[in-house]
Amino acid sequence: MRLQGWFRDAGEIYVLLTIGDGLVAQIPSLILSLATAIIVTRVTTNQSMTDQTTSQLANPTALYVTAAILLLLGVIPGMPSTVFISLALVSAGLGFLVYRLRENEQTQQLKQDSSASPSTPIEEQDVQWEDVSQVDLISLEIGYGLIPLVNTETGGQLLSRVKGVRKKLSTELGFLIQPVRIRDNLDLEPNTYHLLVNGVLRGRGQSYSGKELAINPGHITSPIEGIATKEPAFGLDAVWIEPSQRDRARTLGYTVVDPPTAIATHLNSLLYGTASELLGHDEVQQILDKTAERSPKLVENLVPAKLSLATITRTLQNLLRDGVPIRDMRTILEVLNEEGGKTQDPDDLTALIRPKLGRMIVQSLVDISDDMPVMTLEPQLEQMLHNAVQQSQQSKTLTIDPELAEALFKSMRVEVQKIEDQGQPAILVVSPIIRPWLSNLVRPRIPDLTVLSYTEIPEDQSVNVVATITAQIEESR
């Protein structure tokens, strides 16, 4: 018995000295691990750790959950019920106290906000530069009925078509076209869209999602059922038809396109016509930087030694306004280097550049192997305009008799219509001195007429005179 008592005592002492000491030794490690975890998982804020820990622990929800767990432990048989139930009551009381304190703080804050609002009216709030929005260079506004054309998840292709237009024009014109901002406008009719340049409306049209546009090239007389309209880019007669009528429309000779293509074509035509407005100082500087990578001396000797950036920008804008691309920057800058020391006038520089780009201008109008159909002015009429230009050199404006101008434009429209009906480009060739002024007068009235000077036609280009423009005042009365 004594041996058994000694063995039991020895076992108890062994357990206390081994397991108990081991548990006690792990307490510092447990505390260290807990502290490390708190530091590692701490959210980065401006609060100190003490304030952050206090704000997180002083959470009514956390205290209520703790009270519920302690109460559950207290009702388990064999557990020290008094201790656990007391702790549960304390946790619940703390949770209720914290809840009331936060509720009172929120009430006081609302009172302060309501009392401060009358003394700081909205009208007196400071206006910041962030409140001033800049207009978009190019934007497309659409009605809500056209939103499916933009949604790529439902098969909308308008975004890809617009990107294609930008890429095509950038390649053709010689500078990067800025991105087109597309946004919905609830003020528009559901199937209406607006094209804006520099925040100004420059074109509008209608499109129908789920339909297709059948365009009449001009010689089709067979009608087709649908919504009659005008093709927005070129003003041709067109009809919005159901997709099931596509094959029949093509059989009759109609050109059938989907809504994204119709809008993209309109956008392409508009941006090409307003290219001079899309070219600014930033774009010209980028062009010069790009050219300097291949021809550094060409750019270094020109800017700012001979010409300013503003003069070069104005000259390039003149070329674009005349429909002349600026892809061949090497030739353009060579002319500016040669003539920049003689004149600073952008109009004069433009007139000096155009003959150097004559072959490119002509090839954009006719094929290299075809005769170029041209119209000329009656010699007496051309001499009359020549004299008027010489008298208007200072004002930069061609001033002619209104009746003569009316007769001139009337004769031009008749001849242009005849040439276009034959499927040929309308080209008027005049002397270099009157070309700039006559081109400025004709452009807004007869957009399809191209005005060239004799010096801009390459020597090896064959020419066919198809009409002579006359202006008889007696006939116009």
The domain that holds 465 is classified in CATH as 3.40.50.12790
Domain boundary among 342, 361, 380: 361
- Mean per-residue pLDDT for 315-339? 95
**How sure is the predictor about 75, in pLDDT bands with cuts at 50, 70 and 90?**
confident
Q: Both 240 and 293 in a single domain?
A: no
Inter-CA distances, 311 with 367, 432, 475, Å:
33, 22, 44
pLDDT, tens digit, 9 for 90 and up, residues 402-412: 888 889 999 99
Alpha helices (H) in 178-257, listed in sequence order? 246-252
Residue 117 has pLDDT above 60, yes or no: no
pLDDT, tens digit, 9 for 90 and up, residues 168-220: 999 999 999 999 999 999 999 999 999 999 999 999 999 999 999 999 988 88
- pLDDT, averaged across the chain: 85
19 or 91, which is more confident: 91
**How sure is the predictor about 115, in pLDDT bands with cuts at 50, 70 and 90?**
low
Q: Which of 448, 381, 446, 378 is nearest to 420 (CA)?
A: 448
Residue 13 has pLDDT above 50, yes or no: yes
Q: Percent of the chain at pLDDT above 70?
A: 84
Q: Both 289 and 341 in a single domain?
A: yes
Does residue 349 form part of some domain?
yes
69 or 124, which is more confident: 69
Residue 18 has pLDDT above 70, yes or no: no
Which has the minimum average pLDDT: 32-36, 152-156, 382-386?
32-36
Q: Both 90 and 168 in a single domain?
A: no
pLDDT value of residue 1: 43
Residue 345 has pLDDT above 70, yes or no: yes
Question: Alpha-carbon distance 140 to 188, whole Å?
Answer: 12
Does residue 421 form part of some domain?
yes
Residue 289 has pLDDT above 80, yes or no: yes
Q: What is the CATH number for 306?
A: 1.10.8.540
Burial 353-371 (b: 16+ CB within 10 A, else e): bbbbbbbebbeebbeeeee
pLDDT value of residue 44: 54
Does residue 424 form part of some domain?
yes
Phi, psi angles (nearest 5°) of residue 254: -70, 150
**How sure is the predictor about 240, in pLDDT bands with cuts at 50, 70 and 90?**
very high
Are the C-beta atoms of residues 277 and 321 closer than 8 Å to each other?
A: no
Does residue 243 form part of some domain?
yes
309 or 27, which is more confident: 309
Residue 418 has pLDDT above 80, yes or no: yes
pLDDT value of residue 149: 94
Q: Both 254 and 147 in a single domain?
A: yes
pLDDT value of residue 88: 80
pLDDT value of residue 34: 67
The total number of structural domains that make up the chain:
4
Domain boundary among 230, 254, 273: 273
Q: What is the CATH number for 262?
A: 3.40.30.60
Q: Which of 471, 391, 472, 463 is nearest to 433 (CA)?
A: 391
385 or 75, which is more confident: 385
Q: Both 446 and 392 in a single domain?
A: yes
- Mean per-residue pLDDT for 367-389? 90
pLDDT value of residue 65: 82
Residue 43 has pLDDT above 60, yes or no: no
Q: Which of 224, 250, 248 is nearest to 238 (CA)?
A: 224
Q: Residue 306's domain spans which residues?
A: 279-361
Q: Both 355 and 382 in a single domain?
A: no
Does residue 20 form part of some domain?
no
**How sure is the predictor about 80, in pLDDT bands with cuts at 50, 70 and 90?**
confident
Residue 359 has pLDDT above 80, yes or no: yes
